[in-house]
């Protein structure tokens, strides 16, 4: 399954840390790429450093507007999953979504354009109570991958955590460059 | 199962929105209360308004420091679950945690005191990659409740979402006060 994420509707500065966390969740939970309209080089810098230290090739792509990418991905056969507290229950929708090959997940901020509800193949609610786009994305990615995203290796990591019941155990790969 | 959350180590202002999202996730995912050391009346105000509109009795309690509450809860028979990217894999730990009656979940920010690793009954990693305390908390709460937290009613709500595949469907309860 190929998973990509697009972040829409965020407000400059106010949503920067939340957008960074959305990008971090995308990466840590097995997505390959996030598209975002906010041209914030700091977010790209943060994620670049994290790839460098913790491995993998997660990508951030800045886009001018969300609609062309959603339409392009649909044409390429991606199914569009829009996270919304108004959507269908994830407990009901997850079985269908799991069967898909390629997903573009749309993560909105406070205000999203109405049109996305029509363009989406699935409007999914992670509960019907307000919480956070960060948690909604995490739950969706966990449910559709059945937790297996956490078993995946991130190649070329300089540091790797060995899970342990107490304290910290980090493998550090020495390089000579 | 009674679930409470304590937020530790956050930095003033910089972490405010993240702390708000941690509180929102706690509420939406079935915890009864969050303890926090940051005296930010805005967070309490936000959550109060959300209870008012969307129901339930979720509580925020401001505390002077985290250690007395962790020790008190331990004495009361709560098990302490500390979320840490260095911890034991959640895929392995979740079965044990599910059997517990009362849980206090410790959600750290960037820096946490070493002592918490010793005080905790479980140090749990939601993956071993950096992401967000918001997503880590959400996954833990979802896994230990098997998704059933989303079926729970929030009593005395003024507005209630009826999940739907397209658009928005909100039941509004009229009051005459």
Which residues in chain A have their CB less than 8 angstroms from residue B23's CB? none
Q: Is residue A8 part of a domain?
A: yes
Mean predicted confidence (pLDDT) in B137-152: 97
- A87 to B117: CB separation less than 8 angstroms, yes or no: no
Q: Tell me phi and psi for residue A61, to 5 degrees.
A: -120, 125
Q: Is residue A66 part of a domain?
A: yes
A127 assigned binding-site residue: no
Q: Which domain holds residue A33?
A: 2-172
Closest approach of chain A CAs to the CA of B142, in angstroms? 8
Q: Is residue A177 part of a domain?
A: no
Which residues in chain B have their CB less than 8 angstroms from residue A138's CB? 131-132, 134-135, 138-139
- A118 to B50: CB separation less than 8 angstroms, yes or no: no
B160-176 pLDDT per residue, tens: 999 999 989 999 987 65
The residues near A145 (Cβ < 8 Å, ≥ 6 apart) are: A1, A29, A30
Residues of chain A with pLDDT under 50: none
Least confident of B50-54, B85-89, B112-116: B112-116
Which residues in chain A have their CB less than 8 angstroms from residue B129's CB? 27-28, 54, 154
- Residue A172 to residues A169, A175, B84, B112: CA-CA distances in angstroms? 10, 9, 18, 21
Cα B77 to Cα B84: distance, rounded to the nearest angstrom: 22
Q: Is residue B177 part of a domain?
A: no
Which residues in chain B have their CB less than 8 angstroms from residue A134's CB? 21, 132, 134-135, 138
B83-105 pLDDT per residue, tens: 999 999 999 999 999 999 999 99
Q: Number of folded domains in chain B?
A: 1
CB B123 within 8 A of CB B86: yes
Mean predicted confidence (pLDDT) in B154-159: 97
Grouping H, G, I as helix, E, B as strand and the rest as coil, residue A145 is: helix
Q: Is residue A99 part of a domain?
A: yes
Q: How many contacts does A have with B, using Cβ atoms within 8 A?
A: 160
Looking at residue B128, its pLDDT comes to 96
- Give, for A20, the enclosing helix (H) or strand (E): helix A16-28
Give the closest of A14, A91, A123 to B166, CB-based. Answer: A123
Looking at residue A11, its pLDDT comes to 72
ipTM value of the model?
Answer: 0.96
CATH of the domain at A49: 3.40.1280.10
Q: Is residue A80 part of a domain?
A: yes
A70 assigned binding-site residue: no
């Amino acid at each position: 399954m190929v998973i990509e994420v697009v972040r829409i509707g965020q407000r400059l500065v106010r949503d920067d840390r939340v957008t960074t966390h959305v990008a971090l969740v995308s990466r840590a939970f097995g997505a390959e790429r996030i598209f975002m309209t906010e041209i914030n080089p700091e977010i790209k810098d943060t994620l670049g450093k994290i790839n460098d230290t913790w491995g993998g090739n997660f990508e951030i792509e800045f886009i001018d507007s969300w609609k062309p990418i959603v339409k392009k991905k649909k044409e390429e056969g991606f199914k569009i999953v829009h996270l919304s507290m108004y959507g269908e229950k994830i407990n009901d929708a997850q079985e269908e979504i799991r069967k898909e090959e390629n997903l573009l997940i749309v993560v909105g901020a406070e205000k999203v354009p109405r049109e996305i509800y029509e363009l989406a193949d699935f409007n999914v609610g992670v509960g019907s109570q307000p919480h956070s786009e960060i948690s909604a994305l995490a739950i969706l990615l966990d449910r559709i991958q059945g937790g297996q995203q956490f078993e995946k290796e991130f190649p070329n990591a300089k540091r790797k955590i060995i899970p342990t019941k107490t304290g910290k155990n980090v493998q550090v790969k020495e390089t000579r460059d």
